[in-house]
Structure 1
């Protein structure tokens, strides 16, 4: 995977991590061991302070609840989804992907962790790409259906329930179908950057618009085991392919803001989408912060992605 640098390349602090370290304990054992250590410290502190039995019991309960919370995080892999037809391989190494596109400012804060160990995945290459405020994808303006022109094979009928089934329609959906080769040189609202030592990476962009057949979303890929070079990010494999989604309350507010308000496309609701699996954060639902009285000022979106670094999930199967 290569790319041309428009801004300074990420600092090559360390070589990207190789295959994930050996795991000698199951996730459950890791969590139980951690919980036991916390309980031990709590109990020792209680004895030192000659606390009552009830207080010691409360400390143990609190530690157990903390261990349970940690287990909840570590057990869940973020949902894998289709790559969609409009992916371009690490074409732009940058964090600000806005270019000259108009829309509500969006700060996208991502964290990548190993879902088994909860440890951050550092030096990973994270791709994000999405449509503009009127539903167009850069590089594919002749394919994507923005501005109110609906594809004839857009999904209709009752909203799906449970896990999505079958292949999503191709041609203008941005969610399924085979890969299409770019038809233009535009690359707005696309970018790749590396995670820091804490597994974090931030992108500056705009709130995506919508188009017929899909709810508002952002695509992502996480690549590991490669190398950051002067030419870009080389080698490795894709351990996660997913999509991020937005709560309906926020999307409704964007409909009142220009240029979103000029769209004539019927919007697909989050509950109607054929890709989102309705599982909340695990399925890619973003945590949003914004002024409900003035969303035009900007939105901050964040999510932690639990991935399996050893696995390959390129979103094409």
Structure 2
């Protein structure tokens, strides 16, 4: 994630608790036969095997602060799953999302930050909120076909409590000593009123303990975006082709500010002849580690002729 979703004011991220994970846990991301492996506490192996994505992320980069600070949207679920593979049973184009978190003033990598991501599936449905549907873009994974877009609050606020126990396409993981974190997921779909996007939060200055990640501050709440060429390529692949919801383009979106990577536009690598093989997405996320951007009072989206409640 935009999805102007506000987390309840009384839920303080100052005491986030995430399920603890063993130091030896290892995950593998495979796209088109290329593996991206990473250790839970040391991502050096991940960096070495990251292929083209690693090259783009480690290239010389400018210090900048992301402009895409937004409200968190109605569909954020706090620290529910500590994992890098968030796919579960969702069908779609494999996506390796590789993020590097840096201090926007010094350009130094921020290690041991907790990064959350969450997004809808190929037909525009969010886990935890399946009965809210996707605006007519295909049947929800369970229950009857959706009858409306993600309902949520009016622009500018209103967290929605989850309506079911599903948690696919959501996860939290830590950055390695180089500031990198990689998630395995699927290319997101779309729903009425929003372009294709992924929500993210970055938490810093806390501690990883036996209970998980505690204390600190949320220094970034925003969204990552996909260029039109990639979205159009995905739209002819199953199950995206069954998504009949009206699609908002990147230029029409009320959240993306048009500033490229600084505004959250992902750098993508994939076979232009067959995007179904998989996509590698990367972005350097410049943050102010001393700031608090928890999505509780971010700016509302600008009005749009086709906009529905933002999420």
Fold match by TM threshold 0.5? yes
* Aligned residue number for residue 104 of structure 2: 115
Distance 1:226 1:92 in 2: 18
C-alpha deviation, 1:232, in angstroms: 1.8
Q: Determine if contact 1:175/1:214 at 8 Å carries over to the other structure.
A: no
* Aligned residue number for residue 92 of structure 1: 81
Please state if 1:258 is matched with 2:273. Answer: no
* Aligned residue number for residue 212 of structure 1: 192
SS in 1 for 2:262: helix
SS in 2 for 1:271: coil
Please state if 1:282 is matched with 2:262. Answer: yes
Distance 1:193 1:175 in 2: 29
- Which structure: greater helix fraction? 1
Distance 2:72 2:245 in 1: 23
C-alpha deviation, 1:124, in angstroms: 0.2
Q: Determine if contact 1:120/1:198 at 8 Å carries over to the other structure.
A: yes
C-alpha deviation, 1:231, in angstroms: 2.2
Q: Determine if contact 2:19/2:212 at 8 Å carries over to the other structure.
A: yes
Q: What TM-score, normalized to structure 2?
A: 0.73
* Aligned residue number for residue 179 of structure 2: 199
Distance 1:190 1:106 in 2: 14
SS in 2 for 1:196: coil
* Cα offsets for 1:76-105 (capped at 9, x unmatched): 444212211100111100000000100000
* Aligned residue number for residue 136 of structure 1: 125
Please state if 1:181 is matched with 2:133. Answer: no
Q: Determine if contact 1:5/1:231 at 8 Å carries over to the other structure.
A: yes
Distance 1:175 1:100 in 2: 31
How many matched pairs?
Answer: 244
Q: 1:233 to 1:147 in 2, by over 3 A?
A: farther
5+ residue gaps, structure 1: 14-68, 153-169
SS in 2 for 1:142: helix
SS in 1 for 2:96: strand
* Aligned residue number for residue 226 of structure 2: 246
Please state if 1:312 is matched with 2:301. Answer: no
* Aligned residue number for residue 171 of structure 1: 151
Q: 1:134 to 1:225 in 2, by over 3 A?
A: same
Q: 1:176 to 1:263 in 2, by over 3 A?
A: farther
* Aligned residue number for residue 300 of structure 1: 280
C-alpha deviation, 1:75, in angstroms: 4.1
* Cα offsets for 1:250-296 (capped at 9, x unmatched): 00011110000011111100000011111111110000000111000
* Aligned residue number for residue 140 of structure 2: none
* Cα offsets for 1:7-30 (capped at 9, x unmatched): 7498568xxxxxxxxxxxxxxxxx
* Aligned residue number for residue 57 of structure 1: none
5+ residue gaps, structure 2: 1-15, 27-38, 43-58, 138-145, 298-311
* Aligned residue number for residue 105 of structure 1: 94
C-alpha deviation, 1:177, in angstroms: 3.3
Q: 1:142 to 1:96 in 2, by over 3 A?
A: same
SS in 1 for 2:241: helix
Distance 1:144 1:275 in 2: 21
C-alpha deviation, 1:174, in angstroms: 11
Q: 1:185 to 1:229 in 2, by over 3 A?
A: same
